Amino acid sequence: MAENRIIGRDYEQHILQNICEEEEARLVAVYGRRRVGKTYLVKYFFNEKFDFFFTGSFETPMKTQLSLFKTALEQYSGHSCPSIKSWFDAFTQLKEYLQGVRKKRIVVFLDELPWMDTPRSNFLAAFTYFWNSWGSTCDGLKLIVCGSATSWMLDKIIGDKGGLYGRSSRSIYIAPFNLSEVERFLRSRKGIVWNRYQILELYMILGGIPYYLDMLEKGLPFSRNIDNLFFRQGAPLRTEYDFLFRSLFKSATTYRQVVEVLATKNKGLSLKEIKEEVGTGDSGGLSEVLDNLCKCDFIHKYSAYGKKEKGSIFQLADLFSLYFLKFIGKKTGQDEHYWSNIKESARNAWAGYAFEQVCLHHIGQIRQALGIHGVLTNVCSWSQPKQTDNDGTEWPGVQIDLLLCRGDHVIDVCEMKYCQSEFVVSGEYAEKLRRRNNTFAHFTKSKDAQHTVLVTTYGLSPNIHSGCIYSTVTMDELFAESVTV
């Protein structure tokens, strides 16, 4: 059904295709981070051929939205409609129009659904009544609803405990592109041919967000493109961060506080530590915030090895937010050519952590490169403060960001290093790895074999110390096609 304009999203298209082939009525909720390509996917999967399409408007009064809804109804039905004074009126008229559509499959697309739910509008009650009283019984009706306000979509549609409980036939989460999809996007959509090191750095700045990638200009050098997007006067992404949170979450303040705290803590924080940093007394509310941020890929949650749920660690995973908070934030009057002239020391301090997050976005590719994609694997982290035993033995403080704990009794201890050439293992670094592995074995009492895995850009430079690395995963292997984790 879809034209050849959609890059990736194979699984999501498969779900939509199956839903379209079913005879029963289906309510499908599509959600994900703003700018990730939700609307694009739905529009081009259906070749923009809808029996009705309407999109909500951000912070627009109900009266205006109802007027726009009436206009859309008149365009699709081909005749004038009575005055619409409420959302109940709107959905009643939509029902009457759809009852006259003589087709085996009727496709209705309501985009930015949360923005229609303005205060005291009774939108959700009207929408619920429309679906429960008629839509769900109309064979062939495919009602696609979409929204960037992730917390609203999760609370009101997908996880609703009220009138829509269990009514959503399917939810489809749209994730950011992976590295392979970004490479394909740049070549096929923009005509931009950059090497993989440049694309990797681009990913570390913009993440896999198609809307941002589409702003790149063919023919301009990489650094000039970044300067134009973030640092020149009127740069389009300079105000994006503020709008991003206002449009995604109803109560944006706490969400921003969590993200901004995690941006300063590369090692991540526990729920208790985040609560202390943010200064909220509501652990339940904070847990919901963290859960919603995880579900739209703003943060990652990792189980601490050998600990229960309360030992989980949260890290900032949204690469755009990380870059923005590191280099822009509340700064004003910055050089328009800042990225073209940035000092290497300032860039490297950010790049190391950003690369680690890219690796964590590509666990499936790492497992495939290691040949363990078919092996049951748990992804964990582990940390241990500096400690001295009763016998005087000193153990160093250790932070391991990525452990692949395999069902075949092997633990891959991953080292992630962003380099401009092959990584060179020094004697000092080899000793650090040895002590780290011994510390891990001592405190965890694990009997599993430990394999030190190096994930880096250009691979490993062989020398007398490189034997401490069991396996190496290169940048090119992170560009592998999408795989199931």
What does 345-381 look like in DSSP terms, one character per residue? Answer: HHHHHHHHHHHHHHHHHTHHHHHHHHT-TTS-EEEEE
Residues contacting 109, CB < 8 A, separation 6+: 42, 43, 46, 50, 52, 53, 54, 144, 146
Domain boundaries, the chain: 10-173, 179-238+329-355, 241-327, 362-478
Average confidence (pLDDT) over 372-378: 91
Q: What is the three-class DSSP state of 483?
A: coil
Q: Are 341 and 295 in contact (CB under 8 A)?
A: no
371: left (phi over 0), alpha (psi -120 to 50) or beta: left
Q: Please tell me the distance from the alpha carbon of residue 485 to that of residue 480, in angstroms, as a whole number.
A: 13
Question: How confident is the model over 220-235, as a mean pLDDT?
Answer: 94
Strands 52-55 and 460-461, how do they pair? unpaired
Q: What is residue 482's DSSP assignment?
A: P
Domain 362-478 CATH (choose: 3.30.300, 3.40.1350, 3.30.70, 3.40.1130): 3.40.1350
Residue 2 confidence (pLDDT) above 80: no
Per-residue pLDDT of 394-444, as tens digits, reads 888 888 989 999 999 999 999 999 999 999 999 999 999 999 999 999 999
Residue 483 scores a pLDDT above 80: no
| 255 compared with 404, residue with greater pLDDT | 404
**Single-letter amino acid code for the residue at 116:** M
Give the pair of three-digit tokens for residue 139. 């064979």
Does residue 20 have a pLDDT over 80?
yes
Domain 10-173, CATH number (from 3.40.50.300, 3.40.50.2300, 1.10.3660.10, 3.90.1150.180): 3.40.50.300
Which pLDDT band holds residue 87 (cuts at 50, 70, 90)?
A: very high
- Stretch 239-255: mean pLDDT, rounded? 80
CB 402 within 8 A of CB 362: no
Asked if residue 138 lies in contact with residue 98, where contact means CB atoms within 8 angstroms, the answer is yes
Taking residues 212-241, report their average pLDDT.
94
Question: Does 362-478 match 241-327 at the fold level?
Answer: no
CATH topology of domain 241-327: Arc Repressor Mutant, subunit A (1.10.10)
Tally DSSP H helices, then E strands, for the chain: 19, 16
**Residue 427, class by beta-carbon neighbours within 10 Å (0-12 exposed, 13-18 middle, 19+ buried)?**
exposed
pLDDT-derived band at 201, boundaries 50, 70, 90: very high
pLDDT at 397: 86
Q: What's the CA angle centered on 225, arms 220 and 229, to 5 degrees? A: 145
Residue among 321, 344, 339 at smallest CA distance from 418: 344
HSE value, Cβ hemisphere, 13 Å, CA-based, for 203? 32
Q: Which of the four pLDDT bands, split at 50, 70 and 90, describes residue 485?
A: very low
